[in-house]
Amino acid sequence: MSIAGATAGELLARMERGDITSADVTAAYLDVIDSHDGEVRAFVQVDRESALSQAREVDRRRGAGEHLGLLAGLPVAIKDILCTEGTRTTCCSRMLENFVPPYDAHAITLLKNADAVLIGKTNMDEFAMGSSTEHSYFGATRNPWDLECAPGGSSGGSAAAVAAQMSPLAVGTDTGGSIRQPAGFCGVVGMKPTYGRISRYGLVAFASSLDQIGPFANDVHGAALLLEAMSGYDQRDSTCIDTPVPRYSKTVEEPLEGLKIGVAAEHFVDGLDPEVEAAINAALDVYESLGAEIREINLPHAPYAVSVYYLIAPSEASSNLARYDGVHYGHRAESFENLVDMFSASRGEGFGDEVKRRIMLGTYALSAGYYDAYYLKALKVRRLIRQDFDKAFADIDVILSPVSPTPAFRIGEHDDDPLGMYLADIYTLSANLAGLPGISIPAGFSSAGLPIGLQLMAPPLEEERLLRAARMFERETEWHTKRPALADRSS
């Protein structure tokens, strides 16, 4: 078996047996990056020597019989929105092009404690605002299954890195579907945990009440490993939940008896691609064959999720990004006439079009005379969306839905249609608004050979249930074993 084609669990087992070393594993992935990232553009920074140095240190400690952390020499790619001490964190924006954080995000600290090898920083939509990873200052990432298609966003670089076998694991962030949607488009596993399960300390904020850090992997066990490594209480994040972290990687193989799956009519409406719908129905058949009970549920406020999200998220972005003014943080224009002109020129040059669009939307929604009509009303509907889920989960264990209405779209397809791009997240937004955990797992392919993702959602803090339910499906199918031709490499 090739190194780059193996799962995280398989690599750990081989390293533990002494068949391969962390340096072998890291070098194999770095070689794939060298060979193919010129086409995919999943990474914005890779430091080969630093990665190999980290790997050799893990090998030394393993050889000395020292205790190693959960990830014990596994390479992990990091979305370029998480602060990494001494390494640029740009959010793929000109505004932060030269920013080098003086500290690590809490999730990065935990990864280092787990003995992960941080292999590089991945491409993303600027400040995580987008659904295609086209809105990056460093250029678009391409889908490894079809280089003419988008990998999804905003964590498209992380999803593409795992799909193209450039890293066995990757970290992303999910504000409205930015892990699950690219995971679906790229045919990998991607998970958004409960809001507060992973500390947001050191995560550059887009929308603070929605942002969450989560894992990408090429199977559910790998996602469980990475989630376990990054989870835990951090007093520096006031929204972080102080509750014990289950051993996700140990319980993921346990099937769920008497599983009750909810299916909402609101998730099967006009605009859903027939091939996506067929894949979801086939997945329901798999679950029924395993003894799961399928129940119809209602999520009556689901149709309002897009509208609510695109009031709340831009409003929070408008507030969070106000600090980037050329004085406190970020890019400063070289030519200006006065202080106000400096602010305007610096922000105009530093931010891309999509970020500007969302800042303007948010500023308008928060402005005097419109706050009650837009932002406050959106908060009230957000509460109704959460209540819909609470009511549904009183009778079921998980909710099953598509990840996105279509498979991956072509790069540039939505250049003149921002609303069409926003609708790519129509099935994922609700989990963020309600603070729920959700996971995307591979569930088929379109006739054009593009992956189709299946989404599962669970009640708050039920990541363990969600992972076990996802693994039940994965165990009975082979979709997660498929690799794009681009990544069909031997090591």
Residue 32 has pLDDT above 60, yes or no: yes
pLDDT of residue 489: 41
User: Tell me, what's the pLDDT at 1?
Assistant: 60
Q: How far apart are CA 68 and CA 291, in angstroms?
A: 39
Summarised one tens digit per residue, pLDDT across range 65-88 is 999 999 999 999 999 999 999 999
Res. 438: pLDDT tops 50: yes
For 457-470, how does the pLDDT look when each residue is reduced to its tens digit (9 = 90+)? 999 999 999 999 99
Q: Domains in the chain, please, with CATH?
A: 8-263+393-487 (3.90.1300.10)
pLDDT at residue 435, rounded to an integer: 98
**Contacting residues for 308 by C-beta, under 8 A, at least 6 apart:** 378, 381, 382, 385, 429, 433
Q: Which residues of 100-221 form beta strands (DSSP E)?
A: 117-122, 169-174, 189-192, 212-217
Strands (E), 111-184: 117-122, 169-174
> Which of 322 and 486 is assigned the larger pLDDT?
322
323 has pLDDT over 60: yes
In the three-class reduction of DSSP (H, G, I as helix; E, B as strand; rest coil), residue 271 is classed as coil
Q: Which residues contact 175 (CB under 8 A, 6 or more apart)?
A: 128, 154, 206, 207, 210, 211, 212, 313, 432
Provide mean pLDDT across the span 377-393: 98
Query: 191, 227 in Cβ contact below 8 A?
Result: yes
Place 486 in a pLDDT band, splitting at 50, 70 and 90.
Answer: confident
Percent of the chain with pLDDT over 70: 99
pLDDT at 488 (0 to 100): 46
> Taking the mean position of all CA atoms in its chain, how far away is CA 119?
17
- pLDDT of res. 152: 97
Residue 420: the pLDDT is 81
SS3 55: helix
Check whether 487 has a pLDDT greater than 80. Answer: no
In angstroms, the CA 404 to CA 143 distance is 16
Q: How confident is the model at residue 275 (pLDDT cuts 50, 70, 90)?
A: very high
| Mean pLDDT computed over 376-402 | 98
Residues catalogued as catalytic: 79, 154, 178
Average pLDDT (97-123) is 98
- Distance of alpha carbon 433 from the chain centroid: 16
Name the band, by pLDDT with cuts 50, 70 and 90, for residue 210: very high
